[in-house]
Structure 1
Amino acid sequence: MLPVLAQEVERHITEHGVTEFVVGHYGGFDRLAASAVREAKKRHPEITLTLLLPYHPHDQFIPVPEGFDGTFYPPGMETVPKRAAIVRANRYMLEHSSYLIAYVSHPSSGSREVLEAALRRQKHGLIHVTNLAGWYPI
């Protein structure tokens, strides 16, 4: 998976001009994505890697991990219940991103809803979606 993901990150940098990458840290794909971007930063020092924080930094402090340029806590998240924080943070990023690289391979995946929302936005030209698993629910 990492070689395919690394190739896609490189393609987004060289073909689409992507310079900012935001990733979470709660799943295996997040860790792979961060690793792929950190490697790309060696060839493209102008790109940034930011850690998405779904929980308020004062409630759950997470230091900036090695290889990251900073963290981002979406505005307006202070009143979101913790059980909905990850979903809401993902929604914010979908609404404020031009590209999504995902790996959703199964209809029962928790990431399926994120992919479906991104694909609806893609139909309106608001985001470009790449699902490395090749599975599209819509």
Structure 2
Amino acid sequence: MGGKSCFFIGHRETSEEIYPALYAAVEQHIVEYGVKEFIVGHYGGFDRLAASAVKAAKHLYPDVKLILLLPYHPAERPIPTPDGFDGTFYPSGMESVPRKIAIVRANRYVVDHVDYLIAYAWHPTSNARELVEYARKRQRNLCLSITLIKPDN
């Protein structure tokens, strides 16, 4: 990860209704904060919407990169780089992480290494919400800026 980077975290079951707010957040991060790299997973509705927003923004800002986060080792579970993505990223040190917690651990790794987080995490007992709480600890140390998209946006 090089330059200013942003990660997305949100609920698997996310309505298309948040797309305008999500796109606006992506564009704000590019224009106002200088983000050049966006990292997203691929395990649910929010991830799909986030990737779509970045792909749309890339038409106006071609120097922006979209990276797919891989929680499982690429040799174990090969995933070709999807259309519209500029590459994939597998966090170092993940080889010995049990599969059951690989997604959570990969998400935490990325939160520890990015400048920005765009989150849609309103459900109180979800992994997405727990990751936002984890990220808030970094935010207090001025290491991370979090943008929360509200369910009513």
Instruction: Give the TM-score category using the shorter length.
Output: over 0.9
Structure 1, residues 64-108: CA drift from partner, whole Å, max 9, x if none?
Answer: 000000000000111111011001101100110000001011211
Partner of 1:44: 61
With structure 1 as the length reference, what TM-score do the two structures score?
0.95
Partner of 1:117: 134
| CA distance in structure 2 between the aligned counterparts of 1:47 and 1:125, rounded to whole angstroms | 24
Structure 1 runs (4+) deviating above 2 angstroms are none
| CA distance in structure 1 between the aligned counterparts of 2:29 and 2:148, rounded to whole angstroms | 13
Structure 1, residues 24-82: CA drift from partner, whole Å, max 9, x if none?
Answer: 00011000000000000000000000000000011111110000000000001111110
Give the paired residue count: 134
Computed over aligned residues only, the root mean square deviation of the Cα atoms, in angstroms, reads 0.9
Q: Write out aligned runs for 1:56-95 (5 A).
A: 56-95=73-112
- 1:21 shift after superposition: 0.2
Unaligned runs of 5+ in 2: 1-17
| CA distance in structure 2 between the aligned counterparts of 1:112 and 1:56, rounded to whole angstroms | 25
Unaligned runs of 5+ in 1: none
With structure 2 as the length reference, what TM-score do the two structures score?
0.86
Q: Does 1:7 align with 2:17?
A: no
Where relative contact order (Cα < 8 A, 6+ residues apart) is larger, the structure is 2
Say which SS state the counterpart of residue 81 (structure 2) adopts: coil
Partner of 1:19: 36
Aligned partner of 1:49: which letter? Answer: L
